[in-house]
A = this chain, B = another copy of it.
Amino acid sequence: MSGAPEASGVPGFPAMAPDERTSYTLREIAERLGGEISGNPEVRVRQVATLENATGDTISFLANDRYLAQLKSTRAGAVIVSRTAHEATEIPRIVCTNPYAYFARVSALLNPEPAPQPGVHDTAVVDRTATVEAGVEIGPHAVVGRNASIGAQSIIGAGCYVGEDAVIGRSARLYPNVTVYHGCVLGDRVILHSGVVVGADGFGIAMEDERWRKVPQIGRVVIGDDVEVGANTTIDRGTLEDTVIEDGVKLDNQIQVGHNVRIGAHTAIAACAGIAGSAKIGRHCRIGGASGIAGHLTIGDNVEISAHTLITKSIERAGAYAGAYPFGAQSEWRKNAAQLRHLNELAERVRELEKTLARLERSKP
């Protein structure tokens, strides 16, 4: 290893200059992360790269046999491959069971997250009753409210707002312009990307005398450890109890999580999905982009939902579910969609045909 990453001196989330970069030999990597080396273990790599655009000082990976042709032609200095693809190349390589996860670990080794620069920026406003543990970085124009608490080694980015009584765990990372409402609780190593809003009021309204009356939202949002939340995703506070995001959940960008929802541990949800109020989602689910879960439903563990699917009934059984409309050329779509408006009638006509035909057959001489 060519040296520890140098601490950077500016507010925010710095990238390192290339010449300060860490590098590793395959031997050093395998010592840390496991795997078996084939070929020269002293090959040194400085960065990860795609097979297609790799250069001699980078390491690439093959996670899918679809890219075998790229493996043949890559100029990577080293590659990460599975046992089955092991003999498909002569390039110095690390052989392991899960090349994509291994690659993620190598990339993290070569691209360590910048450490927090402990201190509160002069322009930040931190209430004197707030608790700020050791090693915390609070960026310019951030606001930390009364009795809020920021765990050790966390970074609160520029312009973030952490409301009264909110609790941020240790080694958390709030990118600039995140909003955490009062009373919400985030675990350790939580990452919130810019524009995330945690704890806004849920959509609780009651109709009375032809007008909507607001239902106070007095629950919190409680987020477990190792949760990452993508840019501009919103997670509403509970009406009476808490909205809960369990450990290890990964939410992509622009997802809406309604009040009183619970999302089970290690579930991953792709961008633009909407989880309506009081839905309960199990553990280890995978939910596709722009899909929706209707309110008050229960989704079991290990359920996979395709993109653009609206789930309107609870799902107990693990498995894959789908419900997107199949696209086509607009002219074809128009004809099929027009028929779809009369599908019930078409089915009725088929039943009639079946009856008539049965009668005809019976009356056949």
A88 at the interface (CB under 8 A from B): no
Closest to A209 in B: B101
Residues in B with CB closer than 8 Å to A310 are 290, 307-308, 324-325, 327
CB distance from A91 to the nearest CB of B (A): 17
A185 at the interface (CB under 8 A from B): no
Instruction: Mark contacts of A234-272 with chain B using CB atoms, 8 A cut-off: 1 yes-contact digit, 0 otherwise.
Output: 101000110000001010111010100000001010111
Instruction: Mark contacts of A108-148 with chain B using CB atoms, 8 A cut-off: 1 yes-contact digit, 0 otherwise.
Output: 10010000000001010101010000000001110101100
Residues in B with CB closer than 8 Å to A241 are 50, 53
Interface residues on A, range: 35 or more
Q: Given A11-B125, A349-B354, verify A159-B141 contact (CB < 8 Å).
A: yes
Residues in B with CB closer than 8 Å to A363 are 364
Interface residues in A1-38 by Cβ distance below 8 A to B read 8-15
Tell me the complex Cα distance, A195–B11, Å.
20
When the two chains form their complex, are residues A343 and B340 in contact, meaning their CB atoms are under 8 A apart? yes
Tell me the complex Cα distance, A177–B9, Å.
24
Contact partner of A268 (CB less than 8 A), chosen from B105, B146, B212, B266, is B212
The quantity of this chain's copies bound in the complex is 3
Closest to A111 in B: B216
Residues in B with CB closer than 8 Å to A360 are 357, 360-361, 364
A104 at the interface (CB under 8 A from B): yes
Given A14-B145, A200-B230, A307-B310, 17 further pairs, Cβ under 8 A: A49-B240, A143-B176, A159-B177, A163-B176, A177-B197, A181-B194, A201-B230, A203-B250, A212-B250, A236-B253, A306-B330, A312-B326, A319-B329, A322-B334, A339-B344, A356-B357, A357-B360
Contact partner of A195 (CB less than 8 A), chosen from B176, B232, B353, is B232
When the two chains form their complex, are residues A145 and B48 in contact, meaning their CB atoms are under 8 A apart? no
Residues in B with CB closer than 8 Å to A47 are 218
When the two chains form their complex, are residues B203 and A101 in contact, meaning their CB atoms are under 8 A apart? no
Instruction: Mark contacts of A190-234 with chain B using CB atoms, 8 A cut-off: 1 yes-contact digit, 0 otherwise.
Output: 010111010011011111101111111010000000101011101
When the two chains form their complex, are residues A337 and B330 in contact, meaning their CB atoms are under 8 A apart? no
CB distance from A320 to the nearest CB of B (A): 4
Residues in B with CB closer than 8 Å to A55 are none
Closest to A125 in B: B140
Contact partner of A141 (CB less than 8 A), chosen from B143, B193, B325, is B143
Tell me the complex Cα distance, A354–B50, Å.
53
A157 at the interface (CB under 8 A from B): yes
CB distance from A12 to the nearest CB of B (A): 5
When the two chains form their complex, are residues A326 and B308 in contact, meaning their CB atoms are under 8 A apart? no
When the two chains form their complex, are residues B356 and A212 in contact, meaning their CB atoms are under 8 A apart? no
A98 at the interface (CB under 8 A from B): yes
Q: Given A328-B321, A357-B357, verify A234-B195 contact (CB < 8 Å).
A: yes
A182 at the interface (CB under 8 A from B): yes
Q: Given A13-B182, A330-B320, verify A266-B211 contact (CB < 8 Å).
A: yes
Tell me the complex Cα distance, A283–B120, Å.
46
Residues in B with CB closer than 8 Å to A40 are none
CB distance from A301 to the nearest CB of B (A): 11
When the two chains form their complex, are residues A121 and B125 in contact, meaning their CB atoms are under 8 A apart? yes
When the two chains form their complex, are residues B312 and A292 in contact, meaning their CB atoms are under 8 A apart? no
When the two chains form their complex, are residues B328 and A127 in contact, meaning their CB atoms are under 8 A apart? no
Residues in B with CB closer than 8 Å to A343 are 335-336, 339-340, 343
Tell me the complex Cα distance, A176–B344, Å.
51
Cβ contacts A to B, 22 pairs, < 8 Å: A13-B181, A47-B218, A100-B206, A105-B213, A108-B214, A157-B161, A175-B200, A179-B231, A197-B231, A200-B230, A231-B234, A256-B271, A272-B274, A272-B292, A319-B329, A322-B330, A326-B338, A335-B344, A336-B342, A346-B350, A350-B353, A353-B353
